[in-house]
Amino acid sequence: MEDYLEAGTIVFLFSIAEWLESRASHKANAVMSSLMSIAPQKAVIAETGELVDVDEVKVNTVLAVKAGEVIPIDGVVLDGNCEVDEKTLTGESFPVAKQKD
């Protein structure tokens, strides 16, 4: 009788673990979806000042980002320095200093 109780307990615990994993996965997907919804859809090309869709930006295109704007895509600082609020990406509570490499 004791073996059945142990087996049932193990099955029960594994079921709870699977449920918790599924719940965490759904929450992570919801957070990623909300991050994608706040991402800017337009970017300003530095050389021309032209406003283009983020999907149209090619590799090595230099973009202009003003103070307070959301950075539209991943990149590097080519000139100057700044502080970037990475709270939504990393959880860092203070702005992170960025400068020309």
Structure confidence at residue 88 (pLDDT): 77
Structure confidence at residue 1 (pLDDT): 64
Name the residue among 88, 85, 59, 87 with its Cα closest to residue 74: 59
Structure confidence at residue 29 (pLDDT): 92
Structure confidence at residue 52 (pLDDT): 94
CATH class of 39-99: mainly beta
Domain boundaries along the sequence of the chain = 1-38, 39-99
Structure confidence at residue 91 (pLDDT): 82
Mean pLDDT per 10-residue interval, the chain, length 101 residues: 87 97 95 82 92 92 89 88 85 87 75
Give the chain's largest Cα–Cα span.
Answer: 79
The torsion angles phi and psi of 40, rounded to 5 degrees, stand at -65, 150
CA distance 62 to 43: 10
Structure confidence at residue 51 (pLDDT): 93
CA distance 99 to 93: 19
Q: Tokens 């800017």, residue?
A: 40
